[in-house]
Amino acid sequence: MSFPDGFLWGAGTSAYQIEGHHGRGESVWEVFCRRPGAVEGGGDGSRACDSFLRWREDVELVKELGLSAYRFSTGWSRVMPDGAHADPEALDHYERFTDALLEAGVEPVLTLNHWDMPSSLTWAERSSVNAFTAYAQAVADRLADRVTWWITQNEPWIIALLGYQLGLHAPGVADLGTAVKAGHHVLLGHGAAADVLHAHAGTRAGCALSLFPCDPATGSQADRAAARGSDGYVNRWYLDPLLGDGYPADMREHWERALGHGLDFIQDGDEAAIGGRSDFLGVNYYTRRVMAAAPPDPFPWKVVGPSGDVARTDEGWEINPGALRDLLAGLSGRFPGTPLMITENGGVFGDTPAHDGRVHDTRRIAYLRDHVAAVQEALDAGADVRGYLHWSLMDNFEWALGYRPRFGLVHVDYATGARTVKDSGRYYARLIAGGGTAPALPRIEAYG
């Protein structure tokens, strides 16, 4: 395989998941984690990987793996503890960190909102857009002269779904109408932040979407309609206003029917303020959704999953690299001229250090190998993909699932903070050094 010159090979993390609370303001996640039963195992991000203090060690890991790009987030509640005023010491920290990456020859990919908004704010209110704009301005004023790639928002659908519709993530709201409104405000925040960034020469602004290809469980017309509806709910409701011609009409009708009223929170000029501002699209891909028709409650579809025995991660998610290939090719065909960057792709595999002190996570190696091959196939089919950022650099706090799921190329002993590069991390380093290829390794033929 051969990848384009300048293709970015990297990995990602987010502030709340790795930094710890040292010196930061209260975020919605601090509040949420205090709810009894909100987080599996009762954990929180108060220490996490202690990366705010051990950041130099993390830069050394990035160098050891040979990454050419590293995705990280500036903690919104660290930079703006009260939601309104910037803390210069926090900006100093991120400036030092960014400079260290650049000195190591690593391209920073900076995310502004990876879910840790200050506790004084909520996406349910339109005023959050102004607060986010001020935050973006503060970070851009300090770092836009040296950071090219900017991700404004991470996974607007997940913010709306888990944070405001189901109440499973911070801030723990469970109201469908509030969720639709919050998702709209997140997209408005993207547009406003992109405008701030574009005032600085050379910046590229994009939004990272959690995209789930939606396939019908059978060839029936009802199941095909269910897959189409699910695609509108999960994907098109965000893709179309960002890259197309505004919100899709079929989903507008769905929401008005489900909510029993019009979408008056989408004001005149809003869609114009969201669209036309994406220099690239961030693609977070983990798996697909297999859909069947269902009685509307309020959605006339349900996830049934793939039939038969399929490869799965330890979290039970189907492993399907072919769906990534088709997703990338389809996006480039539908939105020509919009470069793509894989901003998250990974799986939960719970391997821990063996008797020799190493982590032999062979299934993650197979996962990496097959998904990178899928990216190459998409490139061969004409997709404009600029980089692959594996999720994640290291094991970390996995939101409401606590510390059980392990996504990392690097194992973290949470009691001591000790980092151990897993076999998958070593494999990825060899793959990067080989320009996207690596020698076949023993016992890495399948996921079993």
The catalytic residue positions are 155, 344
Q: Is 9 annotated as a binding residue?
A: no
Distance CA 191, CA 278 (A): 8
The region, left, alpha or beta by phi > 0 then psi within -120 to 50, assigned to residue 48 is left
Q: Is 17 annotated as a binding residue?
A: yes
Helices (H) and strands (E) in the chain, counts: 15, 13
Q: Is 165 annotated as a binding residue?
A: no
Q: Is 345 annotated as a binding residue?
A: no
Residue 14 and residue 115 in contact, taking contact as beta carbons nearer than 8 Å = yes
Pairing label, strands 410-412, 419-421: antiparallel
- Indicate if the alpha-carbon torsion angle 264, 276, 278, 150 is positive or negative: negative
Q: Is 157 annotated as a binding residue?
A: no
Neighbours of 260 (CB within 10 A): 9
Q: Is 123 annotated as a binding residue?
A: no
DSSP code at position 138 = H
The region, left, alpha or beta by phi > 0 then psi within -120 to 50, assigned to residue 442 is beta
Helix (H, G, I), strand (E, B) or coil at 80: coil
b/e map 309-344, b = 16+ CB within 10 Å: eebbbebeebbbbebbbbbbbebbeebeebbbbbbb
Structure tokens at 105: 């020859």
CA 441 to chain CA mean position, Å: 29
Which residues are annotated as part of the binding site?
Answer: 17, 114, 154, 286, 391, 398-399
* Binding-site residue ranges for substrate: 17, 114, 154, 286, 391, 398-399
